[in-house]
Amino acid sequence: MEFRTLTTRVAQTLGSEGAPAPSSSAGGAALSNALKAERAGGAKPSETRTATAAANGVPGESFEPLIPAAKPFDLNAYETITEPYRLAEWVSKAKAQGYVAIDTETDGLNPVSAKLVGISLALAPGEACYIPIGHGAGKQDLLSEKPKQIEIEKVITLIKPLLEDPAVLKIGQNIKYDISMFCALDIRMAPIDDTMLLSFVLEAGQHNHGMDELSELHLGHKPIAFKDVAGTGKSQVTFDQVPLDKATQYAAEDADVTLRLWERLKPRLSRDKVATIYETQDRPLIPVVADMERAGILVDRAQLSK
């Protein structure tokens, strides 16, 4: 998605015609490995029908009506991880399960200059946590000590094997940003899935693909807005100044929503016959574009014109 847009913009800037974008009519292919989208007792009847249709190759509408989430969102059920042994337990569960939703929280929007503030994980709908790393005492409470957190070196030691484990799928929303943040810590996260890209491949042109909109569209749930935890205008603070209780609810919910979206969207790739283009063209470009953004690129004008 972004790579095709990037080459077109570069070509226009240089006065050349970029190479044509790959066709989106590629035939479907069987998804590799079980998606585990339906855990015992955790799937909705509608999701069961969707998964069955995908397995049988039954064509369906490209756009699914909103179906409320089977398990209500409980913001108070999310865990704040401040002890290494608890992080180790979450990592162990993720490895045993074979997939985990992940999200990073930072103090800025530019992955090249932003600093990592925390990491959230989700293993199942409603089962999510937040690992604070770089939170301060808060601008309104300058005399207080920083909240208890695991030292970042210890977090990296515990979580790097999980993020680089080829047997564990890491699921994110706009995961390119998270890849860039982890690259700065010498972590090469793979393999990956991206719910934003899944939505784009399945429903391009039908709506936007931001997490909040996808959550309302597919889950019937409106996530916490950033302004609700960080404020607005002159009173707005960066995420490292958000209190841990509010930060946990906001960040862990992001991972929870991402996992639920993945469970709904991933099984549709085969049914809608777009698995090949996603798995062989679009998804492999995510780490490539992330590296390009971090390192910069040199453009061969003559090659671009071909």
DSSP 267: T
* Residue indicated by tokens 């704040």: 80
CA angle 219, 110, 115 (to 5 degrees): 95
Residue 54: its pLDDT value, please?
Answer: 35
Q: pTM score, two decimals?
A: 0.75
At 192, the amino acid letter reads I
DSSP 25: -
- Stated as kind and residue range, the H or E segment containing 128 is strand 127-132
Q: What digits encode the pLDDT tens for the residues 2-60? A: 545 544 554 454 454 443 433 333 333 333 333 333 333 344 333 433 333 333 333 33
Q: What digits encode the pLDDT tens for the residues 253-276? A: 999 999 999 999 999 999 999 999
What integer best gives the mean pLDDT of the chain?
82
Torsion over CA: 7, 207, 169, 175 (sign): positive
Closest-CA residue to 47 (of 273, 197, 218): 218
Q: Residue 267: which residues within 8 A CB-CB, separation 6 or more?
A: 31, 35, 37, 47, 50, 51, 54
Closest-CA residue to 182 (of 86, 287, 296): 287
Residue 107: its pLDDT value, please?
Answer: 92
Please spell the DSSP secondary structure of 40-80, one letter per residue: TTT--HHHHHHHHHHHHT----SSPPP---SS---GGG-EE
3-class secondary structure, 305: helix
* Residue indicated by tokens 């030292």: 151
In the predicted model, residues of the chain with pLDDT beneath 50 are 3, 6-7, 10-11, 13-14, 16-63, 65-66, 68-69
User: Can you list the domains of the chain with their CATH numbers?
Assistant: 2-305 (3.30.420.10)
